[in-house]
Structure 1
Amino acid sequence: MALARESLRELLEDERVPPGVREELAEDYARVQRLLNKIEHGHVHVAVFGRVSVGKSALLNALLGEQRFATSPLHGETRRSEEACWESFDAGGVYLIDTPGINEVAGEARERLAREVATESDLVLFVVDGDITAAEHEALGWVMHEQSAVILVLNKADRYTEAERATLRQVLLSRLQGRLPEERLVLTSAAPAERIRIRVDAQGHETEERVCPPVDVDELKLRLWAVLEAEGKTLAALNAGLFAGRLSERVAERILATKQAIGERVIRLYCLSKGVAVGFNPIPGADLVAAVMLDVGMVVHLSRVYGMPFSRVEAGRLVAVISAQLAALMGTAWTLNLVAGLLKLGSGGLSTLATGTAQGAVAYFATYVVGRAAERYLAAGKSWGEGGPKRMVREILDSLDRDSMLREARVEIMARLKGRKPAGEK
């Protein structure tokens, strides 16, 4: 329990999370605060979940022994999450929570609410009233993935004969293919329907009377008590820990996505700068020096974006490793680049205009690959992963449309040289 509290507090107080990410995940952070409050007060939440009109509200009323939750023959009576303290267990530390039904017509928002409540709760009563439907099977699979404690409740069991109840029990267990222990399937009659009973007196006269069978949730109460006594507080801590872990992953994904968006802009900026510098530098050999310096500067810039600053020496080593792999994998392109450089050397720079755009485009492409490789290396915590730098560079090359990128690079370089922005750039 203490570990769960600490994990939730660390999530709430982590100053490394950018304000934009925290704002984007504000709803999740509010849920973390609710989970923390629940743990600190020692509360356990039990929520019902299921499609409309299976008797979720009636089931909670039967457990409470009073009419606390609204019921109706109309679909969608429950439109928001409601809770009530269940004083039958643990001196009131357990709360029963009603939720809207799933698969309700025009009820997408209410279904989202039901799913949110289910993920925050510590135990879920998944309620059905017969053989499970395809939609229920999918929803139950989701609940069991999100929750460590689930009880499947076959409500309205009074509608079936004893033989039919036995058959339904076996069918439901078989549908779940062993994913739910047999003792976690419980039959209930939360609001038995009235029946007409015929009485025959001694003279053979028949009279009709309406009778209501007794509510039957005793088996469910016993199962709930057993689970709560064995796992109650542990379930609350486990559920909080699971949610904290999922939120940490989402925070990390959002931060990484933000860094990648910034990284893409940085890489494109250096690509264009290098394309212009390499393709149209009139001094033979100077373009190669400019190329290396720009690649090193780009890697230094990216290392700061990813929070792992490099010195220029470290960045130079990384560029050398990536460039070596790139040269091995792009032999033809690099040969053309070298020939273009030699043309400059042989003509004193007079061939710059004829060869500059093509050479600049190759330089643009090469820097893009270097930048992407450096970015992946940084995102992985300064690791090349399995297969080393060669495999990483090959994967990047395979993911790119080389011809279209080279065409795009030529357009951008020429547009910059003509003093205008390329089409589409704001």
Structure 2
Amino acid sequence: MNLKPTLRQLLGVGLALVLLLALLLSLAITDLVLRVWQRLSELPPWVYATYFVLLLAFLGAGAWLVFRLLRAPRGRHSQQTNGDLGEIGLEARLQSAETRGIDVASARAELAELGARRASGRLYVALFGEVSVGKSSLIRALVPGAEAEVGVRAGVTRTVTHYHWQSPAGDELVLADVPGTGEIGGRLDELATAEAQRAQLVVFVVEGDLTRSEQSGLSRLAALHKPLVLAINKSDRHSAELLTEIAARVRERLATEGVVAPVVAVSAGGQREVVRELAGGGEVRELRATPPEVAALRDALQRSVDGDPQLLEQLRDGAIFALAAERLAIAERDWRRQAADRLIRSSSRKAALAAMATVAPGADVLVQGYLGTALVRELCELYEVPVQALDIQQFLKGVQSRVGRVLPLVLSVVGNGLKAFPGLGTVVGGVVQAIAYGLIFDALGRAVARTLESRGQLSQGMVEQAFREVLGEDLEARARRLAEWLVKTQRERGD
């Protein structure tokens, strides 16, 4: 080492001090051991024999504990235990959701599919890529006689189709032909990504360097943490030099996503137009059959299968558990939204009726009264957000000023919107004001629900911002619907 003299001197002094401390510690330990030995030798033999047995047991237990802490258990048992814990936890969530009336059929279908795949013992490979990159043609090249639908029209594959294939080493694989991604609107992207999530392996099929949408697809695949093979299809269209450049750029794209995956060049074969020169000087165009070149893809798949089959199963199980949990979360979200809509609609109608029954209706009846407190509490319970009664009261007091500022504007909009509304003459006075209060209550409830869903807490500022946004959404139409209900209710009560 090329160190400065001063630094060398400091290191030398430090090393000397460390050696001195080690020597002093050794002498102290030696003195302590000798004194203990001298005292034990003066005792009966059975005493110090017992002492040494206990000492050895203590040291052995300590060494075993340190070994267990430093070396985590590995192997099939530990991996299976982790999987079981995930499955048990998910099953508990499903049962809880079912007791609340949530439709969990989609989540249970994922678990049923996982059970079927486990029982089959086959390895599933999803061919993922944009429309018209030749996924179906590749399957036909890998599995002669496969009846995958192939055509020149973009997006021929609209559903997931499975084809059985036996690898050169005798492994049973199932190739999944998924819909192409990148369509306008992305209607089939979710279907393709979900099948990739269920598979143990994913083959990402491209035609060249990744486009922007393909880079987005690669990001989605990287988030799944699945073993990946990137196949550059239609390689016969490129020269060897250009193909090398494309492969290098694709590897760079993979590196940016943190994905380590083999990149192979393949060709599904088919027909290719060539120009043939005639002896007389002319030329003729004709179609020639080109054989498929998929050996590199076969080898890459076989290497992935041979690597760690147990890990592939573990990754598949975890991914399907995550997919089922996602399905459950969507079902819970939809159920909560529907329940929140019912709560808000019921409360806003009660608020309108209360405003008509009040001699001098005001914002206090809606915001600080029983209806406002009950609505906020029920919405917090629905979204499982803990909140205290005092917090609700403070929250409603903060919203009070906001309601007071928007009330004149809502009264004006409702009055203009209901001028030509039939039947208002049969209703008692104050109907316009009652409808305005009902709409404000509806907007407040929807703002609270939107905030609880997105933020997971009762945030004053977020609710006020959402309140301003919701209040202006389709105000006249909502006023007419509430007026129709109010007129009908008043007539029924009159009858």
Q: Which TM-score bucket, shorter chain as reference?
A: 0.5 to 0.7
Paired residues of 1:81 and 1:98 also in contact (CA < 8 A)? yes
Correspondence for 1:262 among 330, 339, 345: 339
Alignment of 1:54-203 (within 5 A): 56=135, 59=138, 67-70=144-147, 75=152, 81-89=161-169, 92=171, 94-99=172-177, 102=180, 116-129=194-207, 143-144=221-222, 148-157=226-235, 160-173=238-251, 178-179=256-257, 184-188=262-266
The answer to whether structure 1 residue 34 and structure 2 residue 108 are counterparts is no
Q: Which residue, out of 319, 326, 343, partners 1:249?
A: 326
Larger relative contact order, structure 1 or 2 (CA cutoff 8 Å, min sep 6) = 1
**Aligned residues of 1:68 and 1:84 also touching (Cα < 8 A):** no
Change (3 A) 1:379 1:134: closer
**Structure 1 regions of 5+ residues with no counterpart?**
197-211, 337-352
Of residues 275, 282, 291 in structure 1, which corresponds to 2:352? 275
- Give 3-state SS (helix, strand or coil) of 1:97's partner: strand
Within a 5 Å distance, the mapping from 1:341-380 to structure 2 comes to 356-357=430-431, 360-361=434-435, 363-365=437-439, 367-368=441-442, 371-372=445-446, 375=449, 379=453
| One-letter amino acid of the counterpart of residue 393, structure 1 | V
Partner of 2:47: none
1:383 aligns with 2:457: yes
- The structure 1 residue matched to 2:103, chosen from 13, 17, 22, is 22
Instruction: Note closer, same or farther for the CA distance 1:271–1:238 as it changes in structure 2 (3 Å cut).
Output: same
Matched, 1:326 2:399: yes
Amino acid at match of 1:95: L
TM-score (norm 1): 0.64
Distance 1:70 1:318, change over 3 A: same
Q: Is the 8 A contact 1:58 1:69 kept in 2?
A: no
**What is the number of residues matched between the two proteins?**
375
CA gap of 1:318–1:70, structure 2 versus 1, over 3 A, is same
AA of the residue aligned to 1:17:
A
3-state SS of 2:301 partner: helix
Equivalent-residue separation in structure 1 for 2:86 and 2:208 (angstroms):
41
Deviation per CA, 1:185-218: give whole Å up to 9, x if none: 1123565989x9xxxxxxxxxxxxxxx9997655
Please give the root-mean-square deviation of Cα atoms over the aligned residues, in Å: 5.3
**Per-residue deviation, 1:123:** 1.2
Contact 2:356 2:430 in 1 (8 A): yes
1:216-256 Cα deviation digits (max 9, x unpaired)? 65544443344334454323322432343243234223323
Matches within 5 A, 1:299-338: 299=376, 301-302=378-379, 305-306=382-383, 315=389, 317-330=390-403, 332=405
Q: Residues 125 and 103 from structure 1, CA distance in 2 versus in 1: closer, same or farther, beyond 3 angstroms?
A: closer
- Among 127, 130, 133, the alignment partner of 1:48 is 127
Question: Offset of 1:95 from its aligned partner?
Answer: 1.0
Distance 2:149 2:453 in 1: 54
What is the DSSP-based 3-state SS (H/G/I as helix, E as strand, rest coil) of the residue aligned with 1:17?
helix
SS across alignment from 2:144: coil
Unaligned runs of 5+ in 2: 1-78, 275-288, 410-426
Give the aligned residue type for 1:401: L
| Matched position secondary structure for 1:15 | helix
**CA displacement, residues 109-135 of structure 1 (integer Å, 9 cap, x when unaligned):** 999876554332121222345566677
What is the CA–CA distance in structure 2 between the aligned matches of 1:230 and 1:16, rounded to whole Å? 39
SS in 1 for 2:164: strand
For residues 111 and 332 of structure 1, the distance between their equivalents in structure 2, rounded to whole angstroms, comes to 45
Q: Deviation of residue 401 (structure 1)? A: 2.9
The one-letter code of the counterpart of 2:335 is T
| Contact 2:110/2:323, CA 8 A, preserved across alignment | no
The letter of the residue matching 2:486 is: R
Match in the other structure for 2:471: 401
Deviations 1:52-91 (A, max 9, x none): 776656755776xx735358985589886233253545x6
Residues 331 and 168 (structure 1), Cα distance of their counterparts in 2 relative to 1, 3 Å cut: closer
CA contact (8 A) 1:327 1:334 kept: no
Please state whether the residue corresponding to 1:67 is helix, strand or coil: coil
What residue number does 1:349 align with?
A: none
Question: Residues 278 and 121 (structure 1 numbering): CA distance in 2 closer, same or farther, change over 3 Å?
Answer: same
The answer to whether the Cα contact below 8 Å between 2:352 and 2:435 also exists between their aligned partners in 1 is yes
**Matches of 2:261 and 2:381 in 1, distance apart?**
55
